[in-house]
Amino acid sequence: MEAQLCFQSIKEGILKNLRLILFAAVFIALSASHLSAQSGTTYRDGPRITCASDDGNRHYCAADTRYGVRMVNQRSGSPCKQGYSWGYDRRGIWVDRGCRADFIVRVVYAPPPPPRPPVPGGGVITCSSDNGGRQFCPADTRYGVRMVNQRSGSPCRKGYSWDYDRRGIWVDRGCRADFALGR
């Protein structure tokens, strides 16, 4: 009876050790295999982020996009076009349709300046949608407004990403430009 209990104890010990060895072998095999990111943030170096849609679906890469985002290097064979296969919003940078690229998030170290007072007719005013959202710039628009210099890589098209009303000029979708007041 004692010999049988001793044999049972040895058998249980061996099975326990075999499970541990098997677990360790599986862990080592998985660690040694080449695992690559399928999507999302794959590398981050300060304001530089590599974001990928390796599986062709939309993925978000968390980032502070308040002051804008700029693509600096396309890594994929699939096109990376802003608004089509990449963009950004409050949640971060999104990529889609196989786009894989490096992005720079703009960092502002000082608080933004206070809103400008209305500019009388005849001047030039710079209005910026640095965060990709709508920004309003008070101005005297009674005598018309025309864009005189686009400063952004994002398109500035009247009625789409900029326009004006009696209160002033608005810009949206990353448009940043100089506007002449009065025609």
- 119 occurs within a structural domain: no
In this structure, is residue 151 part of a structural domain? yes
pLDDT in tens, 89-104: 988 899 999 999 999 8
Same domain, 96 and 137: no
β-pairing verdict for 135-138 and 124-128? unpaired
The whole-number average pLDDT for the span 70-79 is 92
Q: Give CA–CA dist 97/80, Å, rounded.
A: 8
For residues 37 and 49, the answer to whether their CB atoms sit within 8 Å is no
Q: How far, rounded to the nearest angstrom, does the alpha carbon of residue 26 sit from its chain's CA centroid?
A: 36
Residues 138, 101 share a domain: no
Chain centroid to Cα 27, Å, comes to 34
What is the pLDDT, as a whole number, of residue 47? 72
Residue 175 has pLDDT above 90, yes or no: yes
Residue 13 lies in a domain: no
Q: Which strand (E) or helix (H) includes residue 92?
A: strand 92-95
Asked if 133 and 97 sit in the same domain, the reply is no
State the pLDDT at residue 35. 38
Q: Tell me, what's the pLDDT at 37?
A: 40
Does position 30 have pLDDT exceeding 80, yes or no? Answer: no
- Do 45 and 98 have their domain in common? yes
Mean pLDDT over each residue of the chain, to the nearest integer: 80
Instruction: Give Cα 47 distance to the centre of its chain.
Output: 10
Clarify whether residues 99 and 48 are in a common domain.
yes
Mind listing the pLDDT tens digit for each residue in 111-168?
666 665 555 556 888 999 988 889 999 988 888 999 999 998 889 999 999 999 988 9
Average pLDDT for 66-76: 90
Total domains in the chain come to 2
Q: Which domain holds residue 177?
A: 124-181
Q: Is the pTM of this model over 0.85?
A: no
Q: 50 vs 39, which has greater pLDDT? A: 50
DSSP string, 120-162: PTT-EEEEE-TTSS-EEEE---TT-EEEEEE-SSS---BTTTE
- Is the domain of 128 the same as that of 175? yes
Cα–Cα separations (whole angstroms), residue 162 to 3, 127, 133: 90, 9, 11
Task: Check residue 120 and give its pLDDT.
Answer: 55
Q: Which residue has the higher pLDDT, 74 or 109?
A: 74
